[in-house]
Amino acid sequence: LQIPVYMMALQQSGKFTAAGGAYYCLKDNPDDFGKVSYFGDEKLLKQYCGLGVKKSAGLFADDELASILAGCRDQIVRYAACISEGVFNPSTLAPTDAGCGYCIARGMCRRNESKAARMAKEAANG
């Protein structure tokens, strides 16, 4: 949701038309480092960024993009409602699929509920 949020903020300002954004890969693997994935309006990104923007899954026609951004807006409203109710799970995916093995917060994350229960029990027992 990061790029769609930035795009919506720019558009809401009334001063800008957001064409899209890009994700840059920062992996240590030299074959992957620096790869770019675009998200946004295909026509505008090609106009502003040149021929380097190739057709990919993240490029959409104007009407498709508007629909996707509306869906992102709805998702943000749902997230905000959950957060206000105290429901903010790091992920609904299994730890093996959520990237937990690589996360720097994995030792204190609520994702591992069995570990959290054990830590609470240990704390209660002193």
- Sheet holding 20-24: strands in order across? 20-24, 36-41, 59-60
What pLDDT does residue 74 have? 93
DSSP state of 28: S
Q: In this model, does residue 107 exceed pLDDT 70?
A: no
pLDDT at 99 > cutoff 80: no
pTM confidence score: 0.61
pLDDT of residue 38: 77
pLDDT at position 53 = 65
Tokens standing for 76? 């943000």
Per-residue model confidence as pLDDT tens digits over 42-84:
888 878 777 566 666 788 888 898 999 999 999 999 888 988 8
Please give the average per-residue pLDDT across 29-53, as a whole number. 76
